[in-house]
Structure 1
Amino acid sequence: MALSNEKFLVFVLIGSLLVGCSGIERQTEKAMKAAEVAFRDDEKQPNIEAGLIQVYLPKDFNVVEEHENNLILQKGDKAYILFVNPNEKEDSSVLFLATKLQGDQYLVLHSFQNDEKFGFISIKEASKEKYELAVGIGAVKLTTETDKDDLRTDAKQMMQVVSSVPQK
């Protein structure tokens, strides 16, 4: 039994959609797990001081702008915004709750905690083939726009960065 051209085309389109959706689901799951592992690992020690903020930056990250409560970081052609709320502690969920209250459609909005700190990861579609990734611990949040294939690596490195910032 042969498929007509129209039925074949519909079959191929549906198959492509399913593969595309499962691809981003798989990548967001990997990113969530990588962020949680980095959250639970030993914290990196700050290796730079920019303005009032002490922070660990992985190789290839540079500070391009300093402000009182945030830094603009860059790695290659990708920009990152590091925000620090000096009035909150490591176990604060204020940034997570503010993210949740925005009501955006998140592919991932997940939190994790231990006795000392509260962390989270959020991923939402920013534009075609680009995703807004944010990770946070307590009063510190780091955000970037990234590709599907970079979600896992970015989530891990970003969580290492936020976990390094000393909090009250």
Structure 2
Amino acid sequence: MNRNWIHVVLAAALGLMLAGCGKTIEEQITEGVASAATTFESKAPAPTTEVGKIKVYLPPAYHVEEGANEMNYIFTKGRDSFILFVNTIEAEDSRLYYDNLINDTSLNIIEKETFEFKEAFGFTAVIEHSEKEYELIVSSGGVKMTTIAEDKKIDEKLTEMMEVVRSVQVQK
């Protein structure tokens, strides 16, 4: 009986070690882009805070600071920083941020996907800066959020960023 318990404990420890290895960068990016698409096409989360001239949803553990002006805001989660750009002139179906992205030939875009839903246009993109550093971008109409991420939790960040972007309501 004791030998069986030892096998159970060893099997559980091995399982935890393998699970701790995590997903590859490619898996994180693929899952993150797919999840961002689902989030884009879902009902936008209700705003939970007001800052400057916007109301916005803050995912758990996120904090927001008023930016330099009413078009730029800084969000933080732990040691991660995110920049939210709000262009009030652009419509829900604006492709401005996407067109600027794909026209910049200096970028190493490793993944991008566009979304269209109920007269809104959005996209997500991942740009490789180095072997372990990636720029994550999500956008919906005239709202865009970016961050620089290491090779961890890219999938979670893309989803949370899309939740934030989709929730933005500009106050008049």
Instruction: Flag whether TM exceeds 0.5 (same fold).
Output: yes
Matched residue, 1:114: 117
Matched residue, 2:132: 129
Task: Give the letter for the 1:121 counterpart.
Answer: T
Cα separation, 2, equivalents of 1:53 and 1:127: 34
Matched residue, 1:41: 42
Matched residue, 1:18: none
Segments of structure 2 that go 5 or more residues without pairing to the other structure are 1-22
Matched residue, 2:160: 157
Matches within 5 A, 1:10-159: 23-66=24-67, 67-103=69-105, 104-159=107-162
Cα separation, 2, equivalents of 1:63 and 1:25: 29
Task: Give the letter for the 1:68 counterpart.
Answer: E
Instruction: Between 157-166 and 122-131, report the one with greater CA deviation.
Output: 122-131
Matched residue, 2:17: none
Deviations 1:91-112 (A, max 9, x none): 1111111111112120112111
Cα separation, 1, equivalents of 2:56 and 2:166: 9
* Contact 1:53/1:69 (8 A) holds in 2: no
* Contact 2:71/2:87 (8 A) holds in 1: yes
* Contact 2:51/2:65 (8 A) holds in 1: no
* Contact 1:28/1:107 (8 A) holds in 2: no
Task: Give the letter for the 1:151 counterpart.
Answer: I
Cα separation, 1, equivalents of 2:109 and 2:29: 11
Helix, strand or coil at the partner of 1:149: coil
Cα separation, 1, equivalents of 2:43 and 2:66: 28
Cα separation, 2, equivalents of 1:143 and 1:23: 21
Cα separation, 2, equivalents of 1:45 and 1:129: 34
Identity %: 35
Deviation at 1:61, TM superposition (A): 0.8
Deviation at 1:125, TM superposition (A): 1.2
* Contact 2:109/2:127 (8 A) holds in 1: yes
Cα separation, 2, equivalents of 1:81 and 1:41: 23
Task: Give the letter for the 2:38 counterpart.
Answer: V
Cα separation, 2, equivalents of 1:115 and 1:42: 11
Cα separation, 2, equivalents of 1:30 and 1:147: 16
Deviation at 1:157, TM superposition (A): 0.4
Superposed CA RMSD in Å reads 1.7
* Contact 2:47/2:56 (8 A) holds in 1: yes
Cα separation, 1, equivalents of 2:161 and 2:111: 16
* Contact 1:112/1:118 (8 A) holds in 2: yes
